Chain A
Amino acid sequence: MLSPGSGNTVIKSKLISRRMFLLTAAKAVVLVGLVGRLISLQINQATKYKSLSDKNRFREWKLAPERGLIKDFFDQEIASNEPLYQVHLVPENTKNLNHLFVRLKGILNITDKKISYLKKLIKKQKPWEPVIVSDNLNWSEFSKINLFLHELNGVEPIVSVARTYPDNSSAHILGYVSQISTKDLKTKKYLQDLSVPGMVIGKTGLERKLDEQIIGKVGFQRYEVNAFGKRIREIQVNEGKAGKSYKTTLDYEIQKYTNELLKDKAAAVCVMDIYNGDVVSLVSAPTFEPNAFVHGLDKQYWNSLIKDSKKPLTNKAMSGLYPPGSTIKTIVALSALENGIIKPQDTFRCTGKIELHGEKFHCWEKKGHGIVNLRKGIQRSCDVYFYEVARKLGVDRLSVTAKKFGLGKQVLSNFVEEKSGVVPNTKWKKKFIGQNWYIGETLHSGIGQGYFQSTPIQLCLMTAQIANGGFQIKPRIIFDKNNNDLRNYIKYKNEKPNEPLPLELLTKNFELKPLFENQNNINIVKDAMFSSSNEPGGTSYRHRFENPRFTFAGKTGSSQIKRFTEAQREAEVKQTDLDYKDRDHALFVAFAPYKDPKYAISVVVEHGGSGGSAAAPIAKKVIKKVLERHDLRQKINYSSGGVI
Chain B
Amino acid sequence: MLQPRSIQSSLTLKDKILSFDYILVISILILGIISMFAMYSTDGGEFKYHTNSHILRFFVFFGLFFLISLIQIRFWHNYSYIIYILIFILLLGVKYFGLTSSGSKRWLDLYFMNLQPSELMKVSLILFLAKYYHRVSLENMNSIRFLFTPIIALIAPLLLVATQPDLGTSILIAAGGIVVAWLAGVKIKFFAYSSVIFLSLLPIAISFLKPYQKSRILTFLNPERDPLGAGYQIIQSKIAIGSGGLFGKGFLNGSQSYLDYLPEKHTDFIFTLFSEEFGFFGSLSILFLYGLIISRIIIIGNITRSTFGKLYCYSFATAFFIYVVVNMMMVLGLLPIVGSPLPIMSYGGSSMMATMFGLGVAMSCRIHKDVPVN
Contact = CB atoms under 8 A, between A and B. Distances in A.
Interface in A36-54: 37-39, 41-43, 45-46, 48-50, 52-53
Contact of B287 (A16, A20, A24, A31): A31
A48 B241 CA distance: 11
Interface stretch (A222-230, A505-513, A600-608): A222-230
B239 A27 contact: no
Interface string B76-96: 000000000000000000000
Interface string A271-288: 000000000000000000
B242 A49 contact: yes
Nearest to B298: A24
Given A38-B283, A224-B255, A27 B241 contact: no
A16 to B, nearest CB: 5
Interface string B210-225: 0000000000000000
A12 B275 contact: no
A567 interface: no
Contacts of A1: 1
A573 to B, nearest CB: 79
A609 B325 CA distance: 97
Nearest to B235: A52
B120 to A, nearest CB: 24
Interface in B232-248: 236, 238-246
Interface string B224-264: 00000000000010111111111000000001100111000
Given A15-B138, A16-B314, A227-B260, A42 B275 contact: yes
Interface residues of B, number: 45
A53 B280 contact: no
A416 interface: no
A30 interface: yes
Given A46-B242, A46-B243, A227-B261, A38 B284 contact: yes
B244 A42 contact: yes
A26 to B, nearest CB: 9
A445 to B, nearest CB: 71
A235 to B, nearest CB: 11
Contacts of B301: 20
B307 A13 contact: yes
A224 B256 CA distance: 11
B240 A53 contact: yes
A12 B138 contact: yes
A34 B307 contact: no
Given A56-B256, A228-B260, A8 B184 contact: no
Contacts, number: 122
A34 B246 contact: no
A56 B314 contact: no
A8 B332 CA distance: 44
Given A38-B280, A38-B283, A57-B259, A27 B321 contact: yes
Given A34-B287, A34-B332, A46-B242, A27 B294 contact: yes
B279 interface: yes
A19 B284 CA distance: 27
A11 interface: yes
A232 interface: yes
B60 interface: no
B4 interface: no
Interface in B285-311: 287, 291, 294, 298, 301-302, 307, 310-311
B242 A34 contact: no
Given A56-B256, A227-B260, A23 B318 contact: yes
Nearest to A23: B318
27 contacts: A12-B138, A15-B185, A16-B183, A17-B310, A19-B182, A30-B325, A37-B329, A38-B275, A38-B332, A42-B241, A42-B246, A42-B279, A42-B280, A43-B245, A46-B243, A46-B244, A49-B240, A49-B243, A52-B239, A53-B255, A56-B236, A56-B261, A225-B259, A227-B259, A227-B261, A228-B260, A232-B259
Q: Which 6 A-B pairs have the closest CB atoms?
A: A49-B242, A53-B243, A46-B245, A42-B280, A227-B260, A226-B259
